[in-house]
Amino acid sequence: MPLKCTWYRSTCKVDLKVIEDVTSAVYHPTLDDVGCKISVHAVPAVEEYSGMPLFREIGPIALNPEMEAEAVA
């Protein structure tokens, strides 16, 4: 079933700021997401759906030490 998704980034200072231009059911975190929580609001993209939407949050996003060293270089 196709999904209509809205992705959000949040920090301790900013709650649920929409991540622009991302509407797919998959989101790949970027360096901008490190230290942030990522959330998704998803509903089936069919007109006859009348159930509850899905809202899921993960994070805060962290880099493993090897990737962090590479990102800083």
Query: Which domains, from first to last, does the chain contain?
Result: 3-72 (2.60.40)
User: How many angstroms separate the CA atoms of 44 and 12, rounded?
Assistant: 30
Amino acid at 65: P
Tell me which of 31 and 19 has the higher pLDDT.
19
Say what the pLDDT of residue 12 is: 81
- Percent above pLDDT 90 for the chain: 48
In this structure, what token pair is assigned to residue 10?
């949040």
Say what the pLDDT of residue 73 is: 58
Confidence category of residue 23, pLDDT binned at 50, 70, 90? confident
Which residues share a beta bridge with 11?
Answer: none
Which residues share a beta bridge with 61?
Answer: 34
Q: CA angle 6-2-53, nearest 5°?
A: 50
User: How many angstroms separate the CA atoms of 37 and 61, rounded?
Assistant: 6
For the segment 51-57, the average pLDDT, to the nearest whole number, is: 89
The reported pTM is: 0.78
